[in-house]
Amino acid sequence: MTVQDKTASKSRFPVAGILRWGRWLLPLLALLLALLAASREFRQVDMVAVHAAFKQVSLFNTLLLIVVGLLVVSLNALYDVLLLRWLRIKANAAYVARYAWLASVLNNVAGFAGMTGAGVRYLGLGNAGVAARDAVAFAGLVLFSMPVGLSVLSTAVLVLHTDMLVKLAMPSNLAVGVLGLVSLYWVLFLLVAGGGVLHRRLLADTPPLAFPQRVGLLLVSLLDWLAVVLLLDLCLWVVGVKLPLDVLLAAFTVAATLGWVSMVPGGLGVFEGTMLALLGGVVNDASLMLAALLLFRVVYYFIPFLFGVQMLSGLPLVKEGGGVDEFIQRFQAHPLLRLGQVPLRFLGQVSTQVLAYLTFAAGVVLLVSAAFPGMAIRLESLSPYVPLVLREGFHLSSVVAGALLLGLARGISAGMRGAYHTTQSVLLLGIVMTLLKGLDYEEALLLLVLATLLRANKAAFRHRGYPLISRRSLRWLVAGLLALLLAAGLGEMLYGSTQFTVRLGAFGHGADAARYARALIVMLLTFLAWLGWTWFSMPLPASMTLPERGLLERARRFYTEIGHTGYAYLSFLGDKYLFLTDQETALIQYGHKRNHLIALGDPAAADSAGVAEGIRAFRSMAEDYNRVAVFYQVDEANLHYYLNAGFALLKLGEKAQVPLEDFTLVGKKSQKLRTALNHGTRDGLSFEVVQYPLEEALWQELQAVSDAWLDDKQAAEKGFSLGRFERAFLEQCAGFALVKQHGRVVAFASVTPDFGQRDEYRIDLMRHLADTPNGTMDFLFVSLMQHAAQAGYAWFDLGVAPLAGVGDSVWSPREERLIRLVYQYGNHFYNFKGLRDYKNKFNPQWRSLYLAYPRRASLASILLDVAALVAGGYRQVLMK
């Protein structure tokens, strides 16, 4: 990184931080202000009247509104058709128009001031083979052009209908100020899009447009916004609200502007609240006004969105590989587009997520629908055929279906195969029950559409499970509980708390309050029952069962006959799961924390092909259950296999290995080793290696040394990547290296099994008494190296120096440079530097060890879970 780059990076940092916080705070603030402004109008709303207004819309008018809504949304493709020609981009016009329609409907729902639509267009052109430079220019110009029509409308209101602003429920000076600022946008557009300094600043990588082209985009945008106003006017007319077009235009312009700049997805709540507040003194019936606004949401946002979800099943937006990360970085570096920082990878996987949201929404609709009394005409036509007791049962069954859909939405979001099949069954139940309880064919049609969309995306549901303990699961749980609170609050609003609870046992066609009180109890019990059933029935990977003696013996045979790693012996701790590939070419031991499956070391395999296959198979298994595959302390020799499998790498430290072929105590280089051996001999130390079985007295002596060492260090036994003093585990190892003083054991090291291959001599536990002579451990190591060399081993493993060599280059990744600070300034908590210096005096060769984790996974969360596995729990990590 050059000095200029660093300076630019520093200067941009505050701006980036402000934008990051602003993207969250601005929508919340805008929504809060809009709801506060319309609070008086909301208090006048009668939800029963709103519900009745929806029910009374005729089938013909409903179809008319849907058709007009689809046509209005389709006008957005005009931007793309014109720019495709003007920018001379080589792409099929029909293909681009199809993506433009998809971008429009997703943008209407997700919003972010048009950023979502720009992201979809950018990804669509990338899939068509358009260069990133051309794609970003195209997306940026469409984004820049879309608000121009709203700006022209603001100017028209100010020039032609200023008198209408006094009829709005806001200070006229404020309305003039808002519209005046928005009116400047179309002038800015004409100036910036044509060239010059502002063009180079705001539209980098974007070719200038000729004046006729700029005017053409202005007219397209004006047509687009006028069509939206007319659609809203049609919705008002359908529910029986008549407004002068100029008044509607003035209110719409202000509300749409606030909804656009608020960056609230789709302007939801901001637009409705502003419209109600502005027209509070013009429209007498706030309930009808809200019904019209909700109807507008349905035909302009929701119905086209359903079609968009269907299109997504055949239009993958993000394809893995092919430099997709660089492609996305180009989008986010654009001066206009980086303001929104739309998560493009989320757009590429939005289909399943949207279906989850729709499933959750369908559950809410069923629960809310249960609160309202059925239409009298429909009930009268149904009552001769459906006795009261059956109607009560159908009503409660629809509530059960709604509560189940709230829970199933989590499985749909995870792409879980079982959740898909269960949801389809529940949707079928909901369709039948909503019809039988009161001929609510509107809800039945909604459920039918959702079932059809799920069926069209069946291939996306290939996972077998998902982690119950994760942040995503917690968010879905909170959303479900909030939906239940909403249902309870709606019942209290409609019927009052007294009627709601006292008449719980009342039955009758008109006993709506009692009926809904019973429904609340049923929906709560159903939701809790679903949570309990999910907890005990959630499928887990077949390998996620701690190994018993038979499986451990099978693992020992694998390590002996096929291949092993330096951590293979730790399988006998029994605290890790064992994963064997289908062809039994690789064996992986791993732990489980939250949604992370953390493998210890590289896969054990006979050759490099087995290692690569093990990595691929383990990640596939993890993703099949919506888990994150992680490999902890992998060797530098295998890094290319992890990179090929899509993993990112983080250096953890270095492992010291002493070559034994040339090991000698002769010469100046080995003077310190000779001194350690001689000092130990003068202090009465002796060395020996003992193998199993051990005498009981020796076991007791070793246990006493271990307990004293733990007490002195104020430490507890670890696990996962470190051995423990457990007799059952140690008996699976090769034996002990003992240091005695006058016949008393003062230090020991457990010797790990070599599985019949004398490639590397390793030790695990190293413990000593506090009163051992200085240099005892040096004496132990030198004696062990002599013993290993005489036994024919090639290497002696001195273990890992954590954080050694991490982030010591200016080109190291940011995460490693931050970890380097711990290495440099964290010696008060752990002697990082001293440990490396101590091992370095044995003249080892250093090999780097890494953490391999999926790109875009939370590194901090992974490191916390690894630490919890080693320490034995989160409490041990946080209380240290």
Are residues 155 and 175 in contact, defined by beta-carbon separation less than 8 angstroms?
Answer: no
Band (629; pLDDT cuts 50, 70, 90): very high
**pLDDT over 90 at 320, yes or no:** no
Position 342 scores a pLDDT of: 46
**pLDDT over 70 at 183, yes or no:** yes
State which of 223-237, 293-307, 352-366 shows the largest mean pLDDT. Answer: 223-237
Query: Would residue 716 be called left, alpha or beta, if left means φ above 0 and alpha means ψ between -120 and 50 degrees?
Result: beta
Mean pLDDT to the nearest integer, 623-629: 90
DSSP string across 522-586: HHHHHHHHHHHHHHHH----TT-S---HHHHHHHHHHHHHT---TTGGGGGGS-SEEEE-TTS-E
Contacts with 106 (C-beta within 8 Å, 6 or more apart), sequence order = 116, 117, 120, 305, 308, 347, 350
DSSP string across 427-440: HHHHHHHHHHHH--
Position 15 scores a pLDDT of: 45
Mean pLDDT to the nearest integer, 289-298: 84
From residue 438, give the alpha-carbon distance in Å to each of 6, 399, 576: 67, 13, 55
Helix axes 3-37, 270-278, angle to 10 degrees: 40
Alpha helices per DSSP H over 282-371: 286-297, 303-312, 324-333, 344-348, 350-369
Mean pLDDT to the nearest integer, 145-164: 81
Average pLDDT along the chain: 78
State the Cα–Cα distance between residues 126 and 128, nearest whole angstrom: 5
**pLDDT over 60 at 670, yes or no:** yes
pLDDT (tens digit per residue) in 47-85:
667 767 776 777 788 888 889 988 998 888 888 888 888
Position 12 scores a pLDDT of: 41
Are residues 484 and 527 in contact, defined by beta-carbon separation less than 8 angstroms?
Answer: yes
Chain-centroid distance, C-alpha 673: 53
Among the listed ranges 101-115, 515-529, 575-589, which one has the minimum average pLDDT value?
101-115
* Domains located in the chain, CATH noted: 3-348 (no CATH), 354-537 (no CATH), 664-793 (3.40.630.30)
The DSSP bridge pattern shows strands 795-802 and 760-761 to be parallel
Position 577 scores a pLDDT of: 93
H or E stretch covering 125? helix 115-127
Mean pLDDT to the nearest integer, 748-757: 88
Band (630; pLDDT cuts 50, 70, 90): very high
N-to-C CA span, the chain: 38
State which of 40-44, 99-103, 196-200, 597-601 shows the largest mean pLDDT. Answer: 597-601
Mean pLDDT to the nearest integer, 814-832: 60
Looking at per-residue pLDDT, the higher value among 202 and 229 belongs to 229
Tokens of 776: 């005892």
Are residues 186 and 151 in contact, defined by beta-carbon separation less than 8 angstroms?
Answer: yes
- Let me know if 847 is exposed, middle or buried by CB neighbors in 10 A (0-12, 13-18, 19+): middle
- Let me know if 276 is exposed, middle or buried by CB neighbors in 10 A (0-12, 13-18, 19+): buried
Residue 402 phi, psi (nearest 5): -65, -45
**pLDDT over 70 at 221, yes or no:** yes
pLDDT (tens digit per residue) in 858-876:
888 888 888 888 888 777 6
Position 590 scores a pLDDT of: 94
Mean pLDDT to the nearest integer, 638-665: 88
**pLDDT over 50 at 340, yes or no:** no
Band (281; pLDDT cuts 50, 70, 90): low
State the Cα–Cα distance between residues 30 and 243, nearest whole angstrom: 26
Position 807 scores a pLDDT of: 67
Q: Residues for the chain: how many in total?
A: 880
pLDDT (tens digit per residue) in 159-177:
776 666 665 555 667 767 7
State the Cα–Cα distance between residues 504 and 40, nearest whole angstrom: 32
Looking at per-residue pLDDT, the higher value among 511 and 488 belongs to 488
Position 25 scores a pLDDT of: 57
Tokens of 700: 């007791």
**pLDDT over 60 at 384, yes or no:** no
Contacts with 702 (C-beta within 8 Å, 6 or more apart), sequence order = 694, 725, 736, 745, 748
Grouping H, G, I as helix, E, B as strand and the rest as coil, residue 610 is helix
Contacts with 575 (C-beta within 8 Å, 6 or more apart), sequence order = 546, 591, 719, 720
Band (346; pLDDT cuts 50, 70, 90): very low
Position 591 scores a pLDDT of: 92
**pLDDT over 90 at 586, yes or no:** yes
pLDDT (tens digit per residue) in 754-793:
888 888 899 888 888 988 888 888 889 889 998 998 888 9
State the Cα–Cα distance between residues 666 and 669, nearest whole angstrom: 8
State the Cα–Cα distance between residues 467 and 463, nearest whole angstrom: 12
Position 715 scores a pLDDT of: 79
Give this prediction's pTM: 0.69
Grouping H, G, I as helix, E, B as strand and the rest as coil, residue 658 is strand
pLDDT (tens digit per residue) in 691-712:
888 888 899 999 999 999 988 8
Residue 749 phi, psi (nearest 5): -140, 135
State the Cα–Cα distance between residues 245 and 251, nearest whole angstrom: 10
State the Cα–Cα distance between residues 428 and 424, nearest whole angstrom: 6
**pLDDT over 60 at 823, yes or no:** no
